[in-house]
Structure 1
Amino acid sequence: MRRRLISSTLAVVLVVIAVFGISLVIVETRTIENSARESVDSEAVRLVGIVENRILAGESIDAKGLDRQIAEDRYAVVQVPGHPEVTLGTRPKGRVISSRQAGGHDEKVLVEEARSKVSQEIGRTLLVILAVALLAVLAAVILAVLQARRLVSPLTDLAETAERLGSGDPRPRHRRYGVPELDRIADVLDASADRIGRMLTAERRLAADASHQLRTPLTALSMRLEEIVATADDQETVAEEATIALGQVERLTDVVQRLLTNARDPRSGSAVDFDLDDVIKQQVEEWRPAYQNENRSIVRSGTRDLRAVGTPGAVAQVLATLIENSLMHGAGTVTLHTRVTGNQAVVEVTDDGQGVPPDLGARVFERTVSGRNSTGLGLAVARDLAEADGGRLELLQQRPPVFALFLSREIVPPAPREEFVG
């Protein structure tokens, strides 16, 4: 933008200089030529008067008496009836400006001046005009640079402010630039920063409060299940179900702890290297009874012995959401297929149902978007959980539905935290 402002300012100045400069050159050239012609005419009239006075006085008409009556750089010819022709000065070469005048006694005078003298004067005038034009261009460049700096620097600063807001730093900067329009933008950004800060604070407080409130009943439930496991030695089925429920509570506790940690500091991460097969196996075993009740089956296929980077509890929660959606909205066999693409481990969840309605498409991950009377939060939360550990959840195919969870296979060192001084 700086270059554009300077270029546009210079373009305007050059156009103005060209229009007025050419007009001035034309006017000055004609003025100098007219002035030179009038000077030669005046010289000829004056010389005719002198010759006529000499004739009336009976004096001689010769070069000796008239050579001091004309300028050194001019040439004159005096013709008087009955007298020899008198020439004064040196006849100029090339183009000349001449004037012929006649007196009352038939005397004639011709005065000539070299046009090169006029051309030299015109050249000096053009040099002066050119020098003034260059000074004007130089002044325009300086003013354009100053004006561009005054406008571009605030815009760059405002862009940095907007980028800070987008990166999660909602502190207002309270900077003003002396330009009403830019100051108005700064006011709006500062007001937006205040609102975003209050919203983030409220959301983090809500997440922290909800997480804190959930920890107590989860702890109590976990203790009760442990008691059931400890006292149910003779009831193998009860012990098995209690063990499964205890595992679910532990995973839910892990998710709550993760929410609480993120509420305190959203930049902290809890991703670790874990065995992806264990998580998939646990989910298949956990959901198999529910599918058997619906006369359906859940199986796994693909690459085995995969390790991935993430939070095991969060990955389990994402897979549980996809499996539950297939149970509620799908049909036939649900397959969890694992594969490797590049440096990522992929878990695909698919079934034999009708899939995602065409009118939903990629919007299926948006909050409150649901096709069959559900809350519309499950897939949105699942995508957030996946992205929190550097993964992603995508809909690869609408019919039959294929949801894919992409997880990294290498731990990426966390970026150094920025320290803000406010």
Structure 2
Amino acid sequence: MRARVVRVALVAAAVALVLLAVPLAVAIRFTFFADENGELERDAMAAVARVGPDFAAGDPVELPGGRGEVRLGIYDAGGLRSGTGPATSGDAVRQALSGSVARKRSAGELVVAVPVSSGERVIGAVRASTSARTVWNRVLWGWAALLGLCLLALGAAVVVARRQASVLSSPLEALARTSLAIAEGDLAARADRSTIAEIDGVAQAHNAMVGRLARLLERERHFTANASHQLRTPLTGLQLGLEAALADPGADPRAALAEAAEQSRHLDHTIDEVLRLATSGAARHAPALLQPVGDLLEAAERRWHGVLARDGRRLALLWEAAAGQLPVPARSTDQILDVLLDNAHRHGGGTVTVRLRDLGAALALDVVDEGTAALDSRAIFERGTGTGSGIGLALARELAEAAGARLTLSGTAPTCFTLLLPLAGDA
């Protein structure tokens, strides 16, 4: 692009210089010859002033010295009387003897002839001449100066064109480098602003596109990680339940199938909730399915009692009967409980207590274990934080925010997470 901009600027400058220089060259030639004719006429007039009225009677005339190569001669009808010039009268002298000033070019000379009058009669003519080569030398010097100025202007045009090409191409080259960086995986790369509004518009559109793509890719990665995290525990429980039923000949198959069906429904709800979280806009804030919180706590107890019992740990649920009847977003609360109980199982210790408190405008759901939290209340909810996958608590907070709830770390010794759930009709 730089070479193209420079080439276009040079062509434009060259055309402009040609259109300007050709008329100037013609004007220089015309002016120099016109000026020389004017000087010759003045020299001839100065000589005319020396001619007295007795010239026709044969009185000699002393002509003034000419400039440089200028030759002066005085003529009458018979030819050259005094001075320098051809012996015979030429066209210019004959025209002057007829009473008018003559300007001619003859045999490589510029000639001006001025009539000499006495009374009302022309008695002679003064002829002034110089070599046309002298004038042409001055014209050529003028043309050389004009050519030098044109070359100087063309050089300045090259400098300005290269600078302007750099100004125009640098933002585009930077935009190309940014695009290559993005193509290589650096989604944080963004195009910088320049001083050119049109290129800034392209850069702004490019940055908006990259930002949208980055959000889509991040949402896709989060969806994959969330789905993997949330499906692992239910699938493991379903597999263990079926294997236990197969290993026990006396086990009731209907009970095993009922438990498997409940686990399957929970898996289906998990997939729906993860998909809902992965979407944006109206779908993300669609009305949630409400269910009494007590039913959700009982279902969570059925899922996690055996898991904790296999490790010699106890699960305790505490809530008032009236509070257990209050409706909350079912699937979001279910998934958040699974994340908190899984976190207590993996990183906590001792008895895990789930406590429900009625705060009037909201419900507080505490999940407490006998371990301690080593991270502060803000860092613990960031993805990639902690000794595990770093997904669960970040996902739980996203689920809570999507449902209009709030999840916080309310205690570190022992570890206590509190989920504030707004009741139906409350913000």
What's the TM-score once normalised by structure 2's chain length?
Answer: 0.48
Over alpha carbons, which structure has the higher Rg? 2
What's the TM-score once normalised by structure 1's chain length?
Answer: 0.48
